[in-house]
Amino acid sequence: MAPRHILQAIPVRDERSLFTLVENRSAYTLDACELNVFETHQEARGVNLSFGDWVLTSMLRGKKVMHLYDKPGFDYLPGESVIVPPNELMKIDFPEAEKHNPTQCIALAISAEQINSTLQLLNEQYPKVEQDAQWRINQEYFHLANNAELADIINRLIRISLSEHTREKDILAGLALKELLIRLMQTQARHLFEANCTQLSATHRFAHVLQYIKENITSRIDVNRLSDKACMSRASFFRKFKEEFGHTPADFILRERLRLAKKYLQNPANSVTQACYMAGFQNLSYFIRAFKNEVGATPKVFQQQADKTLAVR
């Protein structure tokens, strides 16, 4: 899973104020959504939970094991979110929850009217590049690492729900929900196309572009010529690419090169300079700045941390 952005903390409730030690719920209701904060203060297994609306859940602290769609359970950790359709049963285990290590998670239930109006707006005013494609929430990509954009908008909705007391609170929440849905679908699109660009490259122009980038990532890529690969004008290509993925083509190339550089840095035989040029960067200083901005540590520190992790194993 990609690097995860941790959400802002919400104070844990005093145990004396809890109604139950397992999935204690605090609800904050607005016109178009309801923010639920769940806390569990003791180990538990097989806890069932479902909502009548689409719900975006995000982990704040602790660990859950989530079971969805009759598939094997998966660890659910801070920095991750799960999107669940209406009336879908979530079966949840809390293997590590205890008084001094509670599990805390938010569940943002979004009204069908809010989702439908947002999808209608996007499909009418910002149609997808392929003729038959539609904006939609993809149920197949339900377990996501929070990227910076997704974490930022979730944090904003938490602040609005918990701390905003103005008359325009519901208006602010409605605008934020639109952005949340867009960020969510863009994140899902990146997962879909990055994981399946080879299979989709013959039928989808953006998949063809991503496949070309991946195959040439260590070489110099002329971003301005990628529109030719998509058989689009330069202006339309850049606009629709950003709409689809939430990133520019240059952003995608940079992140692919940084991902490759991290792989090379995990081998202690490679120097930072070698990892830089092997990953397709042309300038060492730029590589170090971009790496630290994305990862939060310099390439050298990242490599030293990776070496320590390997030594412990």
Residues 20 and 135 in one domain: yes
Half-sphere exposure of 157 (CA within 13 A, CB side): 33
The proportion of the chain whose per-residue pLDDT surpasses 70, expressed as a percent, equals 97
**Whole-angstrom distance, CA of residue 33 vs CA of residue 109:** 5
pLDDT tens digits, one per residue of 163-194:
988 989 999 999 999 999 999 999 999 989 98
Residues 45 and 153 in one domain: yes
Which domain-ending residue is among 171, 196, 221? 196
Q: Which domain holds residue 278?
A: 258-312
CB 256 within 8 A of CB 267: no
pLDDT of 197 over the 90 cut: no
pLDDT of 50 over the 80 cut: yes
**Whole-angstrom distance, CA of residue 195 vs CA of residue 246:** 17
The proportion of the chain whose per-residue pLDDT surpasses 90, expressed as a percent, equals 79
CB 24 within 8 A of CB 40: yes
pLDDT tens digits, one per residue of 3-40:
678 999 899 887 777 788 889 999 999 999 999 999 99
CB 76 within 8 A of CB 66: yes
pLDDT tens digits, one per residue of 235-261:
999 999 999 999 999 999 999 999 999
Kindly report the CATH number assigned to the domain that includes residue 274: 1.10.10
- Give 2's pLDDT tier (boundaries 50, 70, 90): low
Which domain-ending residue is among 145, 173, 196? 196
**What single string gives the DSSP state of each residue in 23-63?**
SEEEEEE-SSEEEEEEEE-S-EEEEEE--SSEEEEEEEES-
Q: Say if 178 falls within a structural domain.
A: yes
* Mean pLDDT estimate for the chain: 92
Residues 31 and 167 in one domain: yes
Residue 195 is predicted with a pLDDT of 86
- Mean of pLDDT values over 82-93: 96
Q: Say if 54 falls within a structural domain.
A: yes
- Give 224's pLDDT tier (boundaries 50, 70, 90): confident
Residue 307 is predicted with a pLDDT of 72
Return the HEC string of 152-183: HHHHHHHHHHHHCCCCCHHHHHHHHHHHHHHH
Residue 310 is predicted with a pLDDT of 57
Q: Say if 211 falls within a structural domain.
A: no
- Mean of pLDDT values over 148-158: 95
Residues 279 and 134 in one domain: no
Residues 176 and 57 in one domain: yes
pLDDT of 1 over the 60 cut: no
Q: What is the pTM of this model?
A: 0.88
- Mean of pLDDT values over 56-69: 96
- Total domains present in the chain: 2
- Mean of pLDDT values over 134-138: 95
279: tokens are 């990953």
Residues 55 and 140 in one domain: yes
**Whole-angstrom distance, CA of residue 28 vs CA of residue 313:** 44
Kindly report the CATH number assigned to the domain that includes residue 97: 2.60.120.280
Residues 276 and 178 in one domain: no
Which domain-ending residue is among 151, 171, 196? 196
Residues 189 and 275 in one domain: no
Give me the helix-helix angle, 249-265 and 299-312, nearest 10°: 50
Residues 167 and 274 in one domain: no
Residues 286 and 159 in one domain: no
Residues 41 and 157 in one domain: yes
Residue 313 is predicted with a pLDDT of 53
